[in-house]
Structures are given as structure tokens and as C-alpha cells.
Amino acid sequence: MSNVGNNIKKLRKVKGLSQQAFGDVFNLTRGNISSYEEMRAEPKIEIVLKIANYFGIPVQHLIEKNLSVNEILNFNDYFQPDIPTLGGKRLSQVPLLEREALLDACTYVSKLNELPVIEFPLQSRNRFIAMEYMDAIPVPGDFGITAQSILFFEEIDIDSLHTLNNAFGLCFSAEEFFIGKYTMVEREISLVLNAWKKVDFVLAEKGNFWKLYGKFERI
């Protein structure tokens, strides 16, 4: 079991908030907060992300650590927004496609800078995009990832195209939005959803190759 409930209780008391006031910040009820604090329920991952971002706390700390009062008081001072860190590692600020945005995801293809961001320790110089995965997203039959996970996709440049074959990827364009599996035949690259649907890519086009990098999943 995670430490989210205990940490919510500590956060609330350190910040001088009642259960009702804390719930109001995140569009939750007093009963929701009470159930989290008493370990009768755990918040959904999207709520955990909102709480972590609101208080400037790394998601991993909020879930796994038993936060002390001093840590809570010092997070906002220590984690500067321009150079966020976690245990000496730089935290990348990643645009997040939330569930609401996924209903019209194609409109965000040219608006990544307008999306909310989450901070995560990702070791790459390439761009990333994160997504709140839900069952309504079209995926191949062997995808095997549960709903409510946060998926991270890395933009692959031409020097790393050889890593795409048989990897899962995100089709994220003004016309299409789905998760498929890359296939490569000589210099031809396709992202395949199923036997009836695939997208063929032109190597000269920039920003088309989003490869599944990892996932953050509730345990």
C-alpha cells in the first residue's frame, strides 16, 4: 500500500487546511479526503498528479515516502520550476494529455506547449509527451497496459529509427490518434493498429515518431 493517504493528511495539516478545504482545491468531497487519510481508498492517479503538482512535490515522493513536516515545508523552496530535481537527478517537464484532452487529442498536435505538465526523471535529450491511458484509446490486441496508467512517449530522431521495429508508438497527428506497433521493411516505416488500419510514414516529415518509453502505474 502506498503512503499517499498519510502524506495527504500531513500536507493538509501543515498547510492548515480542513478536509473540506483540501477537497475543494481538487474538486473532491470531504468524504473523499477522509477515505484517503483512513486508508479506506486510494486516489486515482490523476488526483495524485494534481496534488503533487499543486504542492511542488515529486510524484514518487508523494506515493512512496513517509514525508516529514520539514520536507513538506521545504519542497517549494527546493524544487525550483526551472531546474527541478529528484535525488540529484534532473526532472523533465513533460506535456500531459489528460483524459479530458484525449476526447479531442488531434487538436493538440501543434499545441504541446499549451498542455499542463508533469515532472518526471526521464534520462534523454529527446522530447516527451505523457498521456493518461484509458480504455477508449484504440490499441493493438497485445498492448497489455491497464487503464489509469501514465504512458510516456519519446520522440525518436532519424539516428535512432532502427529502434522502432516492433516497438509500440503513438500516432499523434491532426487526422489520427491511436497507439500502434511499428514495423519496418527496408526504408519503409508503418505504425499498425490492426489488420485493417495502419499509417505509413515519410522519413522527411519531422516529429512523427513517438515511441513508448515507459509507464507509471498504480500498484
Residue 203, pLDDT > 50, answer yes
Q: What is the mean pLDDT of residues 22-36?
A: 89
- Superfamily of structural domain 4-79: lambda repressor-like DNA-binding domains (1.10.260.40)
CATH of domain 92-216: 2.10.109
Residue 9, pLDDT > 70, answer yes
Share of the chain above pLDDT 90, in %: 20
Long-range contacts of 13-18 (CB under 8 A, 24+ apart): 14/69, 14/72, 14/73, 15/55
Residue 48 forms beta bridges with which residues?
A: none
Provide the b/e sequence for 49-60 (b: ≥16 CB within 10 Å).
Answer: bbbbbebbbbbe
Share of the chain above pLDDT 70, in %: 84
Strands 128-132 and 150-155, by their bridges, are: antiparallel
Reported confidence tier of residue 1, pLDDT bands at 50, 70, 90: low
Q: Which three cell numbers stand for residue 147?
A: 487503464
Q: What is the mean pLDDT of residues 164-193?
A: 88
Task: Tell me if 211 sits within 8 A of 156, measured CB to CB.
Answer: yes
Q: Judge if pTM exceeds 0.85.
A: no
**Cα(51)–Cα(71) distance, integer angstroms:** 15
Reported confidence tier of residue 117, pLDDT bands at 50, 70, 90: confident
Give residue limits of the domains in the chain. Answer: 4-79, 92-216
Q: What is the pLDDT of residue 83?
A: 39
Residue 96 Cα to chain centre, angstroms: 6
Q: Which three cell numbers stand for residue 66?
A: 513517509
Residue 40 forms beta bridges with which residues?
A: none
Residue 194 forms beta bridges with which residues?
A: 197
Q: What is the mean pLDDT of residues 134-152?
A: 87
Residue 181, pLDDT > 50, answer yes
Residue 116, pLDDT > 90, answer no
Other residues' Cβ atoms within 10 Å of the Cβ of residue 6: 16
- pLDDT top residue among 175 and 75: 175
Reported confidence tier of residue 185, pLDDT bands at 50, 70, 90: confident
Question: What is the residue whose three cell numbers read 521545504?
Answer: 74
How does the average pLDDT of the chain come out, rounded? 80
Min mean pLDDT across 43-47, 130-134, 203-207 is at 203-207
